Amino acid sequence: MDHVEHRFGIADYCVFGFMLLVSAIIGVYYAFVDRKKNTTSEFLMGGRSIGVFPVSLSLVASFLSAITLLGTPVEIYSYGTSYWTHILIYPLIILVTATCFIPVFYKLELTSCFEYLEKRFNKSVRTLGSVCFCIQMIIYMSIVLYAPSLALSQVTGIHVWHSVLSIGVVCTFYTSIGGMKAVIWTDVFQTIMMFGSMLFVVIKGALDMGGFSNVWEINKKFDRIDFFNFDSSPLTRHSFWALMIGTFFNWGSIYCTNQTMVQPGLVLFARYWNCDPISTHRVSAADQLFPLFVVETLGSIPGLSGLFVAGIFSGALSTVSSGVNSLAAVTFEDFIKGYTNINLSESNATLMTKLLAVFFGLVAIALVAVAQQMGNVLNAALSLFGLLGSPVFALFITGMFIPFVNSPGAFFGTLSGIGVSFWIGIGAMTTKPYHPKKEFLVTNCTSSNYSMNLALQESLDLHAIHLINESESVLPIYRISYMYYGVIAAFVTIVISILISLLIGKKSNPDSSLIMPIIQKYIKNKNEEFKVQNSLADSISASATASTIQLVPYAENVSTPLQHQDFVNIALEESSKQVENDNIKEEKIENSKF
């Protein structure tokens, strides 16, 4: 194989530099155009005036990160197509998001979604959710920065840390000066770069292998086509059930995967089925496999390797920029404004959020050293969201779906979920149980520097058997699929929250606006009835000076005096009827609108 650093020429650097330059220019443009709108709302929320189309593309770009672009092809290459089936749960995720969460957040007009937790519970619960989010996003951004640096290192020979700094500095620059508008419009540009580069690589690679039909047949021959694995064992890495349930609780919509992500994995195997570059150490890490394929497929055409790297970097820039902006918003709203009495002008507040954006960008760069130790980037990212993201997701579920859960229950339930998830996650990371991969061959490798033979193939097979036997001694809880980390964490969070709330007995009567729309009507009716009953009872108790009173209006046929409690009961009954009649009238009015 030729030295890969010779494959990245002037044309490639020009394409790559063009992507970075355009991203920076967009940031400078919005910093100049909006210089008179120097408010935190403008910087963090784009003035709430950005159109649907750019926001939609920004959401795609933010979560279709370099982790997806690099990690998914390797996942398909190593374990087959079973990972693809997790997209089947997306319709349910979208439905739950659109009908349960977004309506509540939108009506409350929140800058930080964790403001909801304080309104529903208390400040301690809000702080717990914010801290979990900040830790999760900082580590996640470091993984996202690390992933494309691997790609650039493979195709150019540039050191990983040089790549990290180039991405981190450019991203921090345009995010900190341009705010949300710069983030969204760079995302639009970067989405085009991502999809364009990936589609070109897939089409060119498939044509080189004799077409998509030949790619399919090679993968089918070696058992790579395995969409539906209905194994019910929780130890199976990617069973249908693990992917469906785990993806939902890990909030899999942030990893929107489509055919353009699965197809590269199939093309990879079609090219390397008889000489695995990972086993032969042609790449130093599995996540460098796809960049190696791009170099060997597109390296002879000037500018195309640069297009691929620009696409990967676009995925990283879009994710990190959104993360930096959201971290700045959460820190400012939840910690600085929530725990200090500093009275800042709008200009000073905006300056502080910009400095926070710079700070989090630098922290993410520094933590790349941690990301390097996490192995497969896709596995690491999904595990992280299971460990920290799922307990917080479950916290919002208890708040919106279970009205009687109180503040102590929510707080300690979330801590319990985090504790259990870290116990399992850290245990799995330290014991490193082996999950069998699909079959690889190295018997047909030919190279002037390195030749494989049957003895090496047998050695690799024996090593895999040894790893399987060694994993049998690992605790079963550490051998479960990483997709279940979030499921277990969410389950523990919800159950403990309910149990503590019931044991304490402190009644929670949340405002109906804090509950999901389906339950809001029920809560509203109960709260109105509760308020009316309390008001009537207080009024009766204050006015009753004798043990008995006459009640002529409500007891025309009663000849004897009614007791105090009788009066209360009749009044409450009448008030309940009145509330019911009012609700019927409201329903008729609402129906008439449609």
Helix (H) or strand (E) holding 548: strand 548-549
Phi and psi based region of residue 432 (left: phi greater than 0; alpha: psi -120 to 50; beta: remaining): left
For the chain, give the number of residues.
Answer: 594
Q: Which of 55-59, 76-80, 441-445, 458-462 has the highest mean pLDDT?
A: 76-80
pLDDT of residue 530: 56
With a pLDDT cut of 70, the percent of the chain lying above it is 71
Across the range 261-281, mean pLDDT stands at 76
pLDDT of residue 550: 46
Across the range 548-560, mean pLDDT stands at 44
Q: Using CA atoms of 491, 492, 496, 497 in order, give the dihedral in degrees to the nearest 10.
A: -50
pLDDT of residue 403: 87
Task: Work out the pLDDT band at 30, boundaries 50, 70, 90.
Answer: confident
Q: 314 with 20: CB under 8 angstroms?
A: no
Q: What is the b/e burial string over 143-165, where b = at least 16 CB atoms within 10 angstroms of the residue's CB?
A: bbbbbbbbbbbbbbeeebeebbe
Task: Work out the pLDDT band at 374, boundaries 50, 70, 90.
Answer: low
Q: 155 with 294: CB under 8 angstroms?
A: yes
In order, the DSSP letters of 77-116 are HHH-GGGGGGGGGHHHHHHHIIIIIHHHHHHHT-SSTTHH
Q: Which of 119-133, 493-507, 559-573 has the lowest mean pLDDT?
A: 559-573
Q: Which of 431-440, 449-458, 570-579 has the lowest mean pLDDT?
A: 449-458
DSSP state of 437: P
pLDDT at 586 over 80: no
Task: Work out the pLDDT band at 384, boundaries 50, 70, 90.
Answer: low
Q: Which of 35-49, 327-341, 371-385 has the highest mean pLDDT?
A: 327-341
pLDDT at 383 over 80: no
Question: How does the average pLDDT of the chain come out, rounded?
Answer: 75
Across the range 74-84, mean pLDDT stands at 83
Task: Work out the pLDDT band at 558, boundaries 50, 70, 90.
Answer: very low
CA distance 337 to 334: 6
Q: Which of 250-254, 347-351, 451-455, 488-492 has the highest mean pLDDT?
A: 488-492
Among candidates 51, 41, 106, 108, which has minimal Cα distance to 329? 41
Among candidates 497, 481, 272, 461, which has minimal Cα distance to 379? 481
With a pLDDT cut of 90, the percent of the chain lying above it is 7
Task: Please name the residue that has the structure tokens 């530099």.
Answer: 17
DSSP state of 7: G
Across the range 135-146, mean pLDDT stands at 82
Mind listing the domains of the chain with CATH numbers? 4-502 (1.20.1730.10), 516-593 (no CATH)
Q: Which of 5-14, 45-54, 116-125, 382-391 has the lowest mean pLDDT?
A: 45-54
Question: What angle do the packed helices 259-272 and 160-208 form, to 10 degrees?
Answer: 80
pLDDT of residue 256: 31
pLDDT at 448 over 50: no
CA distance 388 to 133: 8
Task: Work out the pLDDT band at 535, boundaries 50, 70, 90.
Answer: low
Cα distance between the two ends of the chain: 69
pLDDT of residue 126: 92
Geometric angle at alpha carbon 350, from 347 and 353, rounded to 5°: 155
Return the half-sphere exposure (C-beta side, CA atoms, 13 A cut-off) of residue 52: 0
Q: Which of 34-38, 107-111, 526-530 has the lowest mean pLDDT?
A: 526-530
CA distance 205 to 214: 12
Across the range 415-443, mean pLDDT stands at 81
Q: Which residues contact 361 (CB under 8 A, 6 or more apart)?
A: 168, 171, 172, 175, 176, 320, 324
Q: Which residue type does 102 have?
A: I
pLDDT at 549 over 50: no
Among candidates 145, 155, 222, which has minimal Cα distance to 437? 222
Q: Which of 48-57, 370-379, 455-464, 511-520 has the lowest mean pLDDT?
A: 455-464
Across the range 426-438, mean pLDDT stands at 77
Task: Work out the pLDDT band at 310, boundaries 50, 70, 90.
Answer: confident
Across the range 320-334, mean pLDDT stands at 83
pLDDT of residue 164: 84
**Alpha carbon of 253 to those of 180, 247, 257, 418: distances in Å?**
21, 8, 9, 21
CA distance 261 to 244: 18
Tokens of 65: 């990160």
Q: Which class for 491: exposed (0-12), middle (13-18), buried (19 or more C-beta within 10 A)?
A: middle
- pTM (predicted TM-score): 0.73
Q: Which class for 238: exposed (0-12), middle (13-18), buried (19 or more C-beta within 10 A)?
A: buried
Task: Please name the residue that has the structure tokens 């690589």.
Answer: 201
Q: Which class for 259: exposed (0-12), middle (13-18), buried (19 or more C-beta within 10 A)?
A: exposed
CA distance 151 to 160: 9
Task: Work out the pLDDT band at 390, boundaries 50, 70, 90.
Answer: confident
pLDDT at 450 over 50: no
pLDDT at 546 over 50: no
pLDDT at 430 over 50: yes
Helix (H) or strand (E) holding 580: helix 564-593
pLDDT digits (tens, 9 = 90+) for 182-223: 778 887 887 888 788 888 888 888 888 888 889 888 888 888
CA distance 578 to 351: 54
Strand partners, 563: 548
Geometric angle at alpha carbon 177, from 176 and 179, rounded to 5°: 70
Q: 379 with 94: CB under 8 angstroms?
A: no
pLDDT at 159 over 60: yes
Sign of the four-CA dihedral 33, 62, 194, 302: positive
Among candidates 31, 376, 88, 29, which has minimal Cα distance to 228? 88
Q: 206 with 263: CB under 8 angstroms?
A: yes
Task: Work out the pLDDT band at 49, boundaries 50, 70, 90.
Answer: low
pLDDT digits (tens, 9 = 90+) for 492-524: 999 999 999 999 877 777 887 888 777 766 666
CA distance 163 to 290: 17
CA distance 32 to 303: 32
**Alpha carbon of 81 to those of 264, 285, 499: distances in Å?**
11, 21, 40
Q: Which of 18-22, 306-310, 452-456 has the lowest mean pLDDT?
A: 452-456
* Helices (H), ranges, 301-389: 304-330, 337-339, 346-366, 368-371, 377-384
